[in-house]
Chain A
Amino acid sequence: MPDTSTEPPVSNAKIVNTPEEQEDNRRRTRKVLKKFNRKRENLVPVLQQVQDELGYLPREAMLEVAEYLKVPEVDVYGVVTFYNQFRLKPPGKHSIRVCLGTACHMKGGYILLDAWKRRLGVDRGETTADREYDLDTVACVGCCAMAPVNVIDKKAEGRVSPTRVDGILLAFKMEKEKKAKEKPD
């Protein structure tokens, strides 16, 4: 089933940064900006380096970049939402990437995407409120023979089924509980 949802990924984060976090993000963004001169063509490399520094591009970072490069704020947002490499949400502890390349598409990649969406309660490009998982899609990871493929924490899982989705989640939960028991504080 092709994904016919037409809503663009929304950016009204359920995750809100505290004023201290925001100030810290701004400071680290400015540190990156110092390396660049104020030319519009630096927008993409600047965003890449800010994302390297922060792990994603929070609102306050985009605003700093817009002001520094003297480009309209909406243009920074436009570039961030255009390229798949940019994230508006902080990365979760575990990254879930659902392949929707041609082969995985044919083999039901969208069913898995829906399964993850339902289990995690987030859309693609989003992070769960507890910052445990972030969910996104990728277009072919080069192992189509194993389609449908999900990349879990950088490791490719082949022939995934919705049941396997539950299994993966359960394994993560058990791992977390085990760790909590080992360090009961």
Chain B
Amino acid sequence: MKTVSLTIDGKAIKAPEGQKVLWAALDNGIYIPNLCAIRKASEPYAGCRLCFVEIEGRNGPVTSCTEPVAEGMVVNTQGPRSRRLARTALELLLASHPVDCAHCAKNRSCELQKLCSLLGVKLNTRRFRKLVHNLPIDSSCPNFTYNPNKCVLCSRCVWTCRERYGVGVLGFAHRGFDRVVTTFEDKPIAESGCRVCDECIEVCPVGALVFKDGRKGTPGCAEVKSKTATS
């Protein structure tokens, strides 16, 4: 495969042509905040708005999960403008997140916690008015629990459910603040054709989909999780 040469944070990098900047960076040990990127997905979802970087010659920051690498490209992952956008996106997520880490199965393996420490945002940020959901928790499946109130709408479980297993039990429904990952007619997951493959729990970056027995999910979707500790 053809490769291109580019620079990310001053580091000279070679990446396969067509690869997105986000993956090129992650593959080279440079972390860019992200929640919704899925390496194997044919189209980036680009919904979390955390992965902004600055590219020389561009007017404004761009999302690195949608931007293909190019010969001679100079990328800055730490630029103030992109960092500001990422921080605001994170603060908006936290504004509707019921932070309760002490009682959360994802405590210490949660992407929100990692993003907060990386971007210098407090989990209990008060920048935006707090407005949380009050939806019922779904414990219908034998080995996992779904708490929609903690969902950050990253789409990873939805993608995994359909693209990898062709089931398509989970999907997005409703609009605006009410948008939620749910099932047909908001039925309990166990009544919606779920095959309990557990894959969606593995990929959930936060405490929305968790194992009942307290098991931590292993990094499921790509190397996304293992790389986040760096930087």
A-to-B contact residues, CB < 8 Å = 4, 6-12, 59, 62, 72-78, 81-82
23 contacts between A and B (CB under 8 A): A6-B135, A6-B178, A7-B134, A8-B173, A8-B174, A8-B178, A8-B180, A8-B186, A10-B186, A11-B185, A12-B185, A62-B184, A72-B162, A72-B171, A72-B184, A73-B168, A73-B184, A74-B170, A74-B171, A74-B182, A77-B185, A78-B174, A81-B175
Complex contact B174–A82 (CB within 8 A): yes
The interface residues of chain B lying within 8 Å CB-to-CB of A78 are: 171-174
Is B82 close to A, CB under 8 A? no
- A10 vs B178: C-alpha distance in the bound complex, in angstroms? 11
- 8 Å CB interface, B175-190 against A: 175, 177-178, 180, 182-186
Is B196 close to A, CB under 8 A? no
Is B122 close to A, CB under 8 A? no
- Count of CB-CB pairs between chains A and B under 8 Å: 59
Nearest Cβ in chain B — how far from A98, in angstroms? 17
The interface residues of chain B lying within 8 Å CB-to-CB of A9 are: 174, 178
Interface residues on B, range: 20 to 34
- A101 vs B178: C-alpha distance in the bound complex, in angstroms? 19
Q: Which 6 A-B pairs have the closest CB atoms?
A: A72-B168, A74-B171, A73-B184, A8-B178, A78-B173, A8-B174
Given the interface pairs A6-B178, A74-B168, the reply to whether A81 lies near B131 with Cβ below 8 Å is: no
Nearest Cβ in chain B — how far from A126, in angstroms? 14
Is B101 close to A, CB under 8 A? no
Complex contact B169–A74 (CB within 8 A): yes
Given contacts A4-B131, A74-B182, 19 further A-B contacts (CB under 8 A): A6-B134, A7-B134, A11-B185, A59-B185, A72-B168, A72-B169, A72-B184, A74-B170, A74-B173, A74-B192, A75-B168, A75-B171, A76-B184, A77-B184, A78-B172, A78-B173, A78-B174, A81-B173, A81-B175
Nearest Cβ in chain B — how far from A84, in angstroms? 8
Complex contact B168–A11 (CB within 8 A): no
